[in-house]
């Protein structure tokens, strides 16, 4: 329980508005988790997997209309429309509150209101933030217990301190006598709403992932990015890894990639080069602040993984497979006849028969995918065999390099180094990626996704770039080096040129050695590329031609990108930091002379 007056008053107010049958304060205990599972089994939300195959693990099937983040229903309601910027959906905050209050009135009838206190970052860490989510979903309670530090210890540490209020409802009240459905949600009305000035989150109508687990994208990215801007730090959509070379030297690296582009695989990589070691600090979010030594220290605010299941296997990510052996919530995966989960590319051979993510019989001649492409696993970070002990360090780890990447079949080389922070900020601002299934919409189209923050920046993207540039001017800063990477280049025939996964350590090795000052680079119009012979290729199964293609400057392709970026920058008008326009035009000029 709590003596926090603000919290007590807020719970009372929400109770009056949402009219739940009862209120339950979550303590975060195992018994409470088990009870949530029991409720989900009873309501048909979840089913147990065979404990001999996957102990203490469950499969959940969502409504087919609620399978991913809904970006077109995600709103930044700042006082001033310009403060949200052209890449966010904006509504007037007062009007939005009126509309939401209508929707939330009576929305929890027949349900329980759960009070879920959670900490983003180790409890009591000077750089952690406390949120309290009010939700009517047992799935959310169970998931938040895995994904965050959750329960009574958070309230104890909070005392009468401040917290971010996160209100959530699946948006489907139950009238007396009405049977519940397995996955309650509101197919017609979904709202994922952020009020940056008052630091509040209201989410209605969806029970899935980032729409509903409000500590993740809503608090730790959208709201935190605003706080970070005001306080001089960075809240980023980045993995954090620890890289150790064969002689035991260490560098910590962050990497920003859009959703479903392999952050989890990179963060848990089993390196293909002998003697190199990757350990995981985080797979999705990094909060970075300057230490007294002028270095940027990154902390993972989460406590678990909400990872994309399809594509995960013993080759692509053996450490994830080990993480998933027990105590896992699976969502929208397929079910095997012997009571285990399955997803595309989990095994070399397709199973003969399955139950698909919708609960329908599936046979391998059907050609349809059995798991949803955005099927997910939810597992505690503590289960990952390569979790670095520093992941719980309340101050974070010092970052030597930052990677920006995405899925680009063409143009962007395997790796390039920025000349300095400003150039790196520019490279981050121009990244694009072919769309994945992590968000609703058409898969495959190229979209600009600056710093992989397009769906997650809680304010005007141009102001966000200005903030990055300001970070670069921090007095005494010892800034990380910045790299653009692309594991997803394809040949004209449509095959990947680079094997990826554990072989990506070859790129990390070059970056590591750049940080040490021992690897060479060549200047090119787009940035610094590995000098001849500097990328470790021993034992690598890639042809000379393909390697050359991967490290080649595609002048015409880049020039076309410059034109596209000029247009992209236009929409930000005079909020656009002039430094980035200067970088873009300078790039265009350097490329033109090579023509």
Residues noted as catalytic:
261
At a CB cut-off of 8 Å and minimum separation 6, what does 205 contact? 73, 103, 169, 170, 171, 185, 186, 187, 188, 189, 190, 191
On the 0-12 / 13-18 / 19+ scale of CB atoms within 10 A, 305 is buried
Is residue 539 within 8 Å of residue 276, measured between CB atoms? no
Closest to ligand SAT by CB, 233 or 306: 306
Sole binder of ligand SAT in the list 69, 229, 270, 295 (CB under 6 A): 69
Residue 284 vs 463, nearer CB to Mn ion: 284
Tell me which stretch binds ligand SAT (CB under 6 A): 1-9, 26-34, 210-218, 571-579. 210-218
Residues 256-315 that bind Mn ion (CB under 5 A): 259, 284
Cα–Cα distance measured from residue 508 to residue 231, given in angstroms and rounded to the nearest whole number: 31
Residues 353-412 that bind ligand SAT (CB under 6 A): none
Would you give the binding string for ligand SAT spanning residues 28-67, x where CB under 6 A is met?
----------------------------------------
Which residues 6+ apart lie within 8 Å of 308 measured at CB? 259, 260, 264, 374, 375, 376, 438
Q: How far is the CB of 50 from ligand SAT (least distance, A)?
A: 27
Nearer to Mn ion by Cβ, of 91 and 216: the residue is 216
Cα–Cα dist 416/418, whole Å:
7
Residue with tokens 């968000």: 439
CB of 418 to ligand SAT, least distance (A): 25
CB-nearer residue toward ligand SAT: 196 or 210: 210
| Closest of 191, 172, 169 to residue 72, by C-alpha | 191
- # of chain residues touching ligand SAT (CB under 6 A): 8
Which of these ranges, 30-38, 74-82, 83-91, 209-217, lies near ligand SAT under the rule CB under 6 A? 209-217
Instruction: Work out what residue 306 binds among ligand SAT, Mn ion, none; the CB cut-off runs from 5 to 8 Å by kind.
Output: ligand SAT
Q: Which of residues 238-267 bind Mn ion (CB under 5 A)?
A: 259
Integer Cα distance of 514 and 535 in angstroms: 11
List 54, 216, 277, 509, residue binding ligand SAT (CB under 6 A)? 216
Q: Is residue 190 part of the contact set for ligand SAT (CB under 6 A)?
A: no
Contacts of 578 (CB under 8 A, 6+ apart): none
What's the distance, CA 245 to chain centroid? 27
Residue 210 lies near ligand SAT (rule: CB under 6 A): yes
Pick between residue 210 and residue 424 the one whose CB is nearest to ligand SAT: 210
Cβ-count burial of 213 within 10 angstroms (0-12 exposed, 13-18 middle, 19+ buried)?
A: buried
Residue nearer to ligand SAT on the CB measure, 210 or 318: 210
What is the Cα–Cα distance from 257 to 264, expressed in whole angstroms? 10
What does the DSSP 8-state code read for residue 389? G
Nearer to ligand SAT, 386 or 438 (CB): 438
Q: Are 128 and 122 in contact (CB under 8 A)?
A: yes
State the Rg of the chain over Cα. 24
Please state, in angstroms and rounded to a whole number, the distance separating the CA atoms of residues 587 and 33.
54
Q: Of the two residues 148 and 259, which places its CB atom closer to Mn ion in the complex?
A: 259
Cα–Cα dist 194/203, whole Å: 9
Q: Looking only at residues 9 through 28 of this chain, which bind ligand SAT when binding is defined by CB under 6 A?
A: none
Q: Segment contacting ligand SAT (CB under 6 A): 101-109, 151-159, 208-216, 465-473?
A: 208-216
CB of 444 to ligand SAT, least distance (A): 17
Output the smallest distance, CB 454 to ligand SAT, in A: 11
255 binds, among ligand SAT, Mn ion, none (CB under 5 to 8 A by kind): none
Instruction: Report what 209 binds from Mn ion, ligand SAT, none; CB cut-off 5-8 Å by kind.
Output: ligand SAT
Contacts 24+ apart (CB under 8 A), 580-587: 580/425, 580/426, 580/429, 580/465, 580/469, 583/422, 583/423, 583/426, 584/426, 584/430, 587/426, 587/525, 587/526, 587/558, 587/562
Q: Is 259 in the site for ligand SAT (CB under 6 A)?
A: yes
Residue 459 CB, nearest approach to ligand SAT (Å): 18
Query: From the CB of 68, what's the least distance to ligand SAT, in Å?
Result: 7
Distance CA 453, CA 402 (A): 14
Residues 219-258 that bind ligand SAT (CB under 6 A): none
DSSP annotation of 104 reads: H
Nearest Cα neighbor of 214 from 259, 170, 159 is 170
Pairwise CA distance, residues 138 & 348, whole Å: 35
Q: How far is the CB of 372 from ligand SAT (least distance, A)?
A: 12
Contact flag: residue 217 with ligand SAT (CB under 6 A):
yes
Write the interaction track for ligand SAT spanning residues 284-313; mark x where CB under 6 A is met and - where it is not. Answer: ----------------------x-------
Q: Which of 285, 341, 399, 438 binds ligand SAT (CB under 6 A)?
A: 438
Q: Count CB atoms within 10 A of the CB of residue 451.
A: 24
- In the window 456-515, what residues touch ligand SAT (CB under 6 A)? none
Which of 20, 209, 424, 428 is close enough to bind ligand SAT by CB under 6 A?
Answer: 209
The residue count for binding Mn ion (CB under 5 A) is: 2
Rounded Cα gap, residues 560 and 275, in angstroms: 41
Measured from the CB atom, the residue of 166 and 497 that comes closer to Mn ion is: 166
> Which residues contribute to the site for ligand SAT (CB under 6 A)?
69, 209-210, 216-217, 259, 306, 438
- Contact residues: Mn ion, CB under 5 A: 259, 284
């Amino acid at each position: 329980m709590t003596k926090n007056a603000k919290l007590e008053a807020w719970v009372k107010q929400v109770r009056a508005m949402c009219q739940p049958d009862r209120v339950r304060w979550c303590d975060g205990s195992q018994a409470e988790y088990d009870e949530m599972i029991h409720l989900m089994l009873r309501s048909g939300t979840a089913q147990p997997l065979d404990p001999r195959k996957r102990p203490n693990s469950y499969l959940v099937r969502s409504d087919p209309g609620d399978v991913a983040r809904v970006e077109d229903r995600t709103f930044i309601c700042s006082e001033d429309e310009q403060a949200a910027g052209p890449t966010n959906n904006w509504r007037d905050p007062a009007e939005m509150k009126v509309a939401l209050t209508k929707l939330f009135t009576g929305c929890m009838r027949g349900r329980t209101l759960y009070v879920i206190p959670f900490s983003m970052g180790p409890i009591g860490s000077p750089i952690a933030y406390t949120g309290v989510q009010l939700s009517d979903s047992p799935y959310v309670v169970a998931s938040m217990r895995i994904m965050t530090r959750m329960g009574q210890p958070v309230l104890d540490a909070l005392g009468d301190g401040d917290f971010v209020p996160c209100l959530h409802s699946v948006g489907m009240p139950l009238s007396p006598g009405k049977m519940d459905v397995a996955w309650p949600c509101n197919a017609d009305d979904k709202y994922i709403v952020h009020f940056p000035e008052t630091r509040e989150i209201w989410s209605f109508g969806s029970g899935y992932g980032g729409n509903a687990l409000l500590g993740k994208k809503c608090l730790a990215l959208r709201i935190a990015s605003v706080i970070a801007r005001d306080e001089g730090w960075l809240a980023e959509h980045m993995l954090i890894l620890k890289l150790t070379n064969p002689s035991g030297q260490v560098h910590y690296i962050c990497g920003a990639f859009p959703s479903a582009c392999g952050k989890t695989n990179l963060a848990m990589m089993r390196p293909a080069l002998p003697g190199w070691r990757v350990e995981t600090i985080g797979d999705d979010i990094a909060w970075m602040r300057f230490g007294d030594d002028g270095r940027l220290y990154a902390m993972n605010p989460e406590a678990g993984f909400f990872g994309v299941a399809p594509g995960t296997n013993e080759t692509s990510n053996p450490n994830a497979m080990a993480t998933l052996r027990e105590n896992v919530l699976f969502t929208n995966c397929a079910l095997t006849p012997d009571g285990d989960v399955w997803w595309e590319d989990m095994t070399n051979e397709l199973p003969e028969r399955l139950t698909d993510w919708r609960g329908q019989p599936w046979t391998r001649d059907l050609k349809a995918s059995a798991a949803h492409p955005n099927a997910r696993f939810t597992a505690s970070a503590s289960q990952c065999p390569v979790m670095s002990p520093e992941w719980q360090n309340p101050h974070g780890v010092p970052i030597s390099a930052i990677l920006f990447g995405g899925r680009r079949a063409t143009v962007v080389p395997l790796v390039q180094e920025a000349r300095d922070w400003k150039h790196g900020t520019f490279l981050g601002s121009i990244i694009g990626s072919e769309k994945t299934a992590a968000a609703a919409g058409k898969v495959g189209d190229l979209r600009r996704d600056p710093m992989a923050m397009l769906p997650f920046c809680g304010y005007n993207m141009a102001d966000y770039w200005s903030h990055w540039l300001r970070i670069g001017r921090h007095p005494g800063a010892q800034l990380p080096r910045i790299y653009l990477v692309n594991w997803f280049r394809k040949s004209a025939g449509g095959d990947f040129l680079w094997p990826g996964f554990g072989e990506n350590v070859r790129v990390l090795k070059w970056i590591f050695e750049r940080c040490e000052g021992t690897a060479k680079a060549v200047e090119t119009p787009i940035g610094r590329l590995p000098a001849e012979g500097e990328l470790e290729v021993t034992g690598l199964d890639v042809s000379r031609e393909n390697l050359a293609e991967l490290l080649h400057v595609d002048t015409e392709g880049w020039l076309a990108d410059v034109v596209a970026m000029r247009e992209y920058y236009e929409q930000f008008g005079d909020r656009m930091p002039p430094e980035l326009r200067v970088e873009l035009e300078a790039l265009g000029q350097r490329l033109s002379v090579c023509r």
